[in-house]
Structure 1
Amino acid sequence: MDEQVEKKEEADSKEDQDDELADGNPDEEEAGSGEKVKFPYQILAIYAYTVMHACSGAALSSVSHTYKVTELQMEPGLVTKIQQATGPIFTLLILAWSYVAEAWTGRFPVMIICCVCYIFGHVLVTGSDLAPILWYPDMSIGTRIFFFYAGSTVISFFNTGEATTSTAFGADQFKLPEQETEKNNFFFWDYSVMNAALCLMYIVSPAMRNVSCFGNDDCYSLALGMAGIFAILILIAFAAASPWYVKVPPVGNVTGRAFACIFYAIKNKLTKPKNPEYNHWMQYAEYSGYTPEFIAVVKHLLDVSVMLFPLSFYWALYHMNKTRWIDMGYQMNGTVPYTNFTLKSDELQWYNPLLTFIMVPFSVKFIFPVLNKIKIMHTMVQKLVAGFVIMVITYILITIICYAVEENNPRPMKLTKDTTALQIVGGMAEGEAPVTLFLSGPDFPGQMRIIFPGATASWEELKAGVPYKLSTDISGTPTLATFTGKGKEAFTGLVHGTAGSPSVNIFPDPEEQYGMTRTNRPVMRAIVLTPGIGKTLDFIHSNGAVKSVTLPSAVGPSEYLGKPDVGLYTMKLDGQEVGQQLFESGAVYSVVISGSAGSPKISTAVQAKPAVVNLIWILIPVTVVTVSEMLVSPTAIAFWYNEWQEFLLYTFLITLNTILVILIARWFKSNEEKAGKVPLAGPLGHDNPNRVSMVSGEGSAGRPSVRKSVAALGASKALNEETNRQT
């Protein structure tokens, strides 16, 4: 009897399966067959897109800050302020691009349009450097700045659109819920692939910049043009897989419905009777016909919106390592220990993405599972909080390094439109007695400086346009030279002869390297005291490299030597060896040439002493900030797609951490500003031994924080799914 019942049940089950197959429902057929959902291999094109996008951004961002400071002659502090002011504006475009993608076009058309316009922006940026070289040699600096920032604005505007939609578009390629695990792994691997590409380009792009082209020592056209080439490859890599993409159509103005839901919830809360069954004010939207499911999704959207506030500060502080940290790095000794190889500050940017590429997969596969087992940072919000705390530690470390730099190498005072400065180089022969000079002028009693051979003394905060005179006596008589400076400009003079009978020459052109260099390399020039003593001064490095400067025919300085390496140099005047000198990182030197054509003499004056604190120290805070990034960035992306609990419990703590980070950052900035007021000369006029090269403390292009902060994408996805269920 039992056997007959079992056979009947098997027959009934077979009939049910046949009926299901006859209905032709593919989802049920696939579920019934138990076959694994095929992996979406078009995701490889998304990875290729990510690589090209990262290469394009890194090729531009790795050199753009230095390009604006050195080639476009912009103040480093102004460059940083522009970036900090425009960054939040472009971040707000996340919602605008999300609205366009969900209500009008869908994600795929948005990405195609952004890719095309992205290329146009790179054309403008590259043209700012290439146009005056090839076509318009008289193009002004102001015009070049306009083209660069016009291109950067176009890049940032459409870059935000790409970053806003690309991560969600990649997630659309997976079938849920069967491929939930594959989708979550996509976020982390996409981020890791991006960092691998960033690491590569942060090495390659500065190297391309360092080659000579078009008669210039630096080839920014090559580095910026490479970014444009990768922008073209972005479009090709993404569009090539178009036939295989899953393209989710627009579902209508979901963002508008969400805001309308919030509006009616507030309105009903204020106008309708109190409902004891409602435990949240958003539930009052039910009076206007909104379903509890849709209201729940909007509540999640509000939670995430609160999260955007502290994260916006976090990423603003994080991206200071692309601006203020680079500025500080140029104040440091770039010589690699035990070598003569010199790094520029912007050439260490590869270190962060390399660590990220290694640490993110390792943490996801090994560290995070262990922490989950021992209940330490086992929720995503706790990882975010830990990331903020580590960011605080990062700025404590960077402040300590900044303090050490400023103590060892204080920067000169910042000149304004109403102030000027004068520095006097001691061109006396080595062993001669120092010369005492007094500078006096209207309402300016004589101030004494003692200039030693090979040293430099300065007078700062002088009034622009006011005549001053130099003398060996406080009365101003006899007058050795007169000086009238221009606002925001410093000028250089040379004292030579003997202490009993000195002579002073004030050079008419403003000083290009007043108390500072803009790279970590040394800066050298020649100053001729004997007219016609020679035509060329060669600097021959110990490795055989030769750099040359053309000497002026009259008394005065030559041009500064471009891109010399640190090391011991042999100097030859028209082929005749005249001496050797060690030129160190960050220092400014003037080689004074005197004597006669048959018997030349040289002495070296140090206008700004070598940097003391080594650039390698900055790798410590970079390592710590990378740990913070590892906790915050991929965790935030996964958080918005997977976890909504415990959010409000931690928001207050995260906000407090953010405020603490901001206070430390302000302290860091305040220290820099105070350091800018350190006088170059000692109280009795002796040359300050701490004087050194210094850059006071970008763009908008590059690796965008919006790619890491995709809250709007997560909310839009949830709203889209709820809208689909309702329709």
Structure 2
Amino acid sequence: MGRGESEEKSKMEQEPEEDPGFCDKFRGFPKCIGFIVGNEFCERFSFYGMKAILTIYLLEALLFDDSTSTAIYHAFTFGCYFTPILGAIMADSWLGKYWTIVSVSMVYCLGHLIMSLSDLVGPHPYPFLGPSPSGKIPGAMIGLVLIALGTGGIKPCVSAFGGDQFKDGQTKQVQMFFSIFYFAINAGSLISTLVTPLLRDDVQCYGADCFPLAFGVPAILMVVATILFVVGTPFYKRNPPQGNVVVLVSKAIGNAVKNRWNREEGEQREHWMDYCDTTKYEKKLVRDIKFMLHVLYMYIPLPVFWALFDQQGSRWTLQAYRMNYDLGPLGKMKPDQIQFVNPALILILIPIFEGVIYPILDKCKIPNRPLQRMCAGMTFAAGAFVVAGFIQIALQNTYPQPPAAGYSGLRIINMADCELTATFDPPFTGDNPPAFDAIAYKGEQKLYNVPKGNHTIDFTCNGKNPLNNYPVDMGDQEFNTVIITEKNGTLHAPPQFHTDWDKPDKADPKMRVIFMLDPDTIGNNVTVRIENKAVPTQVNHDFDVEMETATEYVVKEPGDFNVRLQYVNNTKADQDELVGTFSTEHGGGYTVVVYNDGTENMVESYIDAEPSSMSILYQIPQYFIITTGEVLFSVTGLDFSYSQAPKSMKSVLQAAWLLTVAFGNVIVLIVAEARLIEDQAIEFFMFAGLMGAVVIIFAIMAYFYTYNEIPKDDEEMEEMGKSNGDIENGKVRNGVDNPALSPDGPIYEDVLAGDTSYITQL
């Protein structure tokens, strides 16, 4: 905040004035504010829209595994919260806020454009899977780097530039501007996390998710954001660069460290910053740095909270990815859409806490100081990960389990028009020998406790000529399928088919086709086509038929599929025959059998791995708990930082606050890349335990923390040695209340100095 605004605020505090009406707060609004707010809405839409689908993109399009996808996601997030320092230095020391926003926005747009176009790069050896990932990875990584530079570069500039447009004395207008600015951020975030996953999933490109469109729309919004900002140029008030306080503070600290290292033997000073050369740096600056360092000490444990919080877009999205998206009459939710719950709850919970919960705590005389609230927020974050861990255990319990060691699984499918019985020869022995029930026509039966090794089976079927001594080779913990048909009144079966009992690596269902047709009837040159029933031209896969063989598993979007036989160069030349349809669900594995029932060709599908059954709505409690923790921790933490910092150090503490977010993401990156924990539920509990340990440490630190007493008016202090009595009426013991985001709170005004961190998490 500029000196003029500071003096005006001081006068207003001494001489209360009547609060103007709602409409009066808009009088005297600069004409350019609409361009700045529109720019922020579009930029936040572009950023959070791209980030919402990023994990799914890394997993599905670039074919990274869970741990690598998580590591890349958090490396990107680290960049987004580290680069604001560079943007602030560029704006304050070199280009000024306006040209920093314009130039960095162009880099931002380029990054989005590369992300969108990179998904179109590469050969298409498997059209049903989309472009080859090998050609897309370099472009995607370059795009992410440029986007991180772009969003970080403008983060400390846009809101401060908006505040620069107001005149001295426009306190209420400034407050209204930041309320609108805050709403624009949340609106952009909320809408984009709902819309972008729809563009990804509901539109097909190459028969798969349409990432070029899903990244393209945020790219367009970022271009619109840049154009909006540039169009307002004639109306802007632009202040020249005046030097960056982060750089100045860094130099002063470096000077103090150097002088302390080179001090004379036996020389001792009260604080190590007292070694700073006061001929080069003002005493007031040294004093303010001491205040700042006192606050920074409390920042040491904070990255762990962000390590948990930012996993909403990585590990929690991957958890949602393997759940059931069906919401019944409400339709289906995309796994990356669930993230919208956080900004939606933020808008609900902040006024509840500010207007209801905190006042009740005050009336009940329950300790309610900022560090206590932050400690409570950390506790909620740990609780959210405990809940996430139990949800993960329940989810993993729905996964199919392999047969026990020493055993294997066997499925028999009856495609003979009679009731089939099967007898193992010799019979199984042991405490629980497996036994087959009679299997109806087109039915199946599965056994999971068949001893490994070689066996023979006798099949009989209502007077049909039996099939005796059918050999099966059961490997350890394998699963095999036997299909029984009939030829000329005799039971018949090709060799067993190995079957994948586990779920697909990705969330989309996997399927394979087994052809049980007679080549004497349909010929040898036949292609089987699987196509999306709703859009046949978009999702298809062609198999060159080899009778009584199984194809490899292929991955497709869930839905309804047609199966067509296409005859080439035989008696049924150029005939395209629809033989049937089948359906797949999210997370399932399927075997599709093409057979003849004696009169016509038909299709029957069988489940190899059960589709996802646990509803995505089970994640709502963990989102509610961690969002509650965010309100207690993030909003209160920013208020604590604001109230405990001298005016000259507010932007430095903002930079430090953003760095805690950045380094929190480094923690997740290290854990993901180390791959020391294979079980995701255990990893969630590990993070909860880490957060619990940090809560204890932070609580001890908070207990011994002495709140800074910041002079109300720094100009009143002409000497560092003034006693408390000299300035007793000029001091205020800050940090008791939490005025953050309230209409009359001081946090709005000081965003003029670049303090926008209270909204960067949304």
**Taking structure 1 as reference, are residues 264 and 366 closer, same or farther at Cα in structure 2, changes over 3 Å only?**
same
Q: Which amino acid aligns with 1:58?
A: Y
Q: Is 1:210 matched with 2:201? A: yes
Q: Is 1:249 matched with 2:240? A: yes
2:182 — aligned with what? 191
Deviation digits for residues 477-506 of structure 1 (CA, Å, limit 9, x no counterpart) = 9987899xxxxxx99975323899753255
Whole-angstrom distance in 2 between the partners of 1:470 and 1:128: 50
2:723 — aligned with what? none
1:592 — aligned with what? 593
2:690 — aligned with what? none
1:530 — aligned with what? 517
Q: Which amino acid aligns with 1:76?
A: D
1:518 — aligned with what? 506
Correspondence for 2:679 among 654, 672, 685:
672
Whole-angstrom distance in 1 between the partners of 2:296 and 2:112: 32
Alignment of 1:210-249 (within 5 A): 210-249=201-240
**Taking structure 1 as reference, are residues 332 and 166 closer, same or farther at Cα in structure 2, changes over 3 Å only?**
same
Whole-angstrom distance in 2 between the partners of 1:449 and 1:164: 68
Whole-angstrom distance in 1 between the partners of 2:538 and 2:102: 49
Correspondence for 1:312 among 281, 284, 303:
303
SS of the residue 2:158 aligns to = helix
1:610 — aligned with what? 611
Q: Which amino acid aligns with 1:396?
A: V
**Taking structure 1 as reference, are residues 68 and 266 closer, same or farther at Cα in structure 2, changes over 3 Å only?**
closer
310-319 or 284-293, which deviates more: 284-293
SS of the residue 1:164 aligns to = coil
Whole-angstrom distance in 2 between the partners of 1:402 and 1:136: 33
1:333 — aligned with what? 324
Deviation digits for residues 658-706 of structure 1 (CA, Å, limit 9, x no counterpart) = 99x99xx999994725899xxxxxxxxxxxxxxxxxxxxxxxxxxxxxx
Aligned residue pairs total: 603
**Taking structure 1 as reference, are residues 425 and 324 closer, same or farther at Cα in structure 2, changes over 3 Å only?**
farther
Deviation digits for residues 151-202 of structure 1 (CA, Å, limit 9, x no counterpart) = 11111122211123334333444556x4556656655653332122221112
Query: Would the aligned equivalents of 2:322 and 2:587 in 1 still touch at CA under 8 Å?
Result: yes
Whole-angstrom distance in 2 between the partners of 1:100 and 1:576: 64
1:627 — aligned with what? 628
Q: Is 1:129 matched with 2:129? A: no
| TM-score for the superposition, normalised by structure 1 | 0.68
665-674 or 113-122, which deviates more: 665-674
39-48 or 496-505, which deviates more: 496-505
Query: Would the aligned equivalents of 2:579 and 2:602 in 1 still touch at CA under 8 Å?
Result: no
Whole-angstrom distance in 2 between the partners of 1:625 and 1:103: 38
Whole-angstrom distance in 2 between the partners of 1:371 and 1:246: 44
135-144 or 636-645, which deviates more: 135-144
Whole-angstrom distance in 2 between the partners of 1:60 and 1:283: 47
Deviation digits for residues 583-640 of structure 1 (CA, Å, limit 9, x no counterpart) = 5543222122333562446553221113332111111111222222233334444444
Query: Would the aligned equivalents of 2:390 and 2:681 in 1 still touch at CA under 8 Å?
Result: no
Q: Is 1:157 matched with 2:164? A: no
**Taking structure 1 as reference, are residues 285 and 456 closer, same or farther at Cα in structure 2, changes over 3 Å only?**
farther
Q: Is 1:141 matched with 2:133? A: yes
Whole-angstrom distance in 1 between the partners of 2:505 and 2:126: 28
Whole-angstrom distance in 2 between the partners of 1:412 and 1:601: 31
By how many angstroms is 1:376 displaced?
A: 4.9
157-166 or 281-290, which deviates more: 281-290
Correspondence for 2:286 among 289, 295, 299:
295
292-301 or 320-329, which deviates more: 292-301
Whole-angstrom distance in 1 between the partners of 2:146 and 2:434: 52
Whole-angstrom distance in 2 between the partners of 1:147 and 1:98: 27
Whole-angstrom distance in 2 between the partners of 1:64 and 1:612: 24
Alignment of 1:214-613 (within 5 A): 214-252=205-243, 254-269=245-260, 271=263, 279-285=270-276, 287-306=278-297, 308-337=299-328, 341-364=331-354, 367-368=357-358, 371=361, 374=364, 376=366, 378-409=368-399, 426-429=412-415, 432-433=420-421, 454=444, 471-472=454-455, 494-497=481-484, 503-504=494-495, 515-516=503-504, 518-519=506-507, 523-531=510-518, 552-555=544-547, 556-557=550-551, 560=554, 562-565=556-559, 584-595=585-596, 598-600=599-601, 603-613=604-614
Q: Which amino acid aligns with 1:228?
A: A
Q: Which amino acid aligns with 1:106?
A: G
Correspondence for 1:47 among 31, 34, 37:
37
By how many angstroms is 1:53 displaced?
A: 0.9
Deviation digits for residues 266-314 of structure 1 (CA, Å, limit 9, x no counterpart) = 34445268899x6533233255453331112222443454455433332
Whole-angstrom distance in 1 between the partners of 2:305 and 2:336: 22
**Taking structure 1 as reference, are residues 167 and 235 closer, same or farther at Cα in structure 2, changes over 3 Å only?**
same
RMSD (Å), alpha carbons: 5.4
By how many angstroms is 1:230 displaced?
A: 0.8
Deviation digits for residues 423-482 of structure 1 (CA, Å, limit 9, x no counterpart) = 9764444864569799xxxxxxxxx999997467899xxxxxxxxx985379xx998789
**Taking structure 1 as reference, are residues 626 and 334 closer, same or farther at Cα in structure 2, changes over 3 Å only?**
same
**Taking structure 1 as reference, are residues 424 and 116 closer, same or farther at Cα in structure 2, changes over 3 Å only?**
farther
Whole-angstrom distance in 1 between the partners of 2:87 and 2:336: 32
Q: Which amino acid aligns with 1:162?
A: I
Whole-angstrom distance in 2 between the partners of 1:368 and 1:74: 45
Deviation digits for residues 520-564 of structure 1 (CA, Å, limit 9, x no counterpart) = x6555542222566876889999x999987665323338758433
2:463 — aligned with what? none
Whole-angstrom distance in 2 between the partners of 1:154 and 1:450: 62
Q: Is 1:91 matched with 2:81? A: yes
By how many angstroms is 1:115 displaced?
A: 0.3
**Taking structure 1 as reference, are residues 622 and 411 closer, same or farther at Cα in structure 2, changes over 3 Å only?**
farther
Query: Would the aligned equivalents of 2:88 and 2:244 in 1 still touch at CA under 8 Å?
Result: no
Q: Is 1:79 matched with 2:36? A: no
Q: Which amino acid aligns with 2:503?
A: G
SS of the residue 1:515 aligns to = coil
Correspondence for 1:70 among 38, 52, 60:
60
Whole-angstrom distance in 2 between the partners of 1:135 and 1:376: 66
SS of the residue 2:607 aligns to = strand
380-389 or 200-209, which deviates more: 380-389
**Taking structure 1 as reference, are residues 540 and 231 closer, same or farther at Cα in structure 2, changes over 3 Å only?**
closer
Whole-angstrom distance in 1 between the partners of 2:678 and 2:355: 41
**Taking structure 1 as reference, are residues 375 and 634 closer, same or farther at Cα in structure 2, changes over 3 Å only?**
same
Query: Would the aligned equivalents of 2:204 and 2:538 in 1 still touch at CA under 8 Å?
Result: no
Whole-angstrom distance in 1 between the partners of 2:98 and 2:53: 31
Q: Identical aligned pairs, as a percentage?
A: 21
SS of the residue 2:101 aligns to = helix
**Taking structure 1 as reference, are residues 626 and 433 closer, same or farther at Cα in structure 2, changes over 3 Å only?**
farther
**Taking structure 1 as reference, are residues 241 and 597 closer, same or farther at Cα in structure 2, changes over 3 Å only?**
farther
Whole-angstrom distance in 2 between the partners of 1:634 and 1:591: 54
Whole-angstrom distance in 2 between the partners of 1:597 and 1:212: 40
SS of the residue 1:404 aligns to = helix
Query: Would the aligned equivalents of 1:428 and 1:497 in 2 still touch at CA under 8 Å?
Result: yes
Whole-angstrom distance in 2 between the partners of 1:67 and 1:637: 33
Whole-angstrom distance in 2 between the partners of 1:588 and 1:121: 37
**Taking structure 1 as reference, are residues 364 and 41 closer, same or farther at Cα in structure 2, changes over 3 Å only?**
farther
Q: Which amino acid aligns with 1:258?
A: V
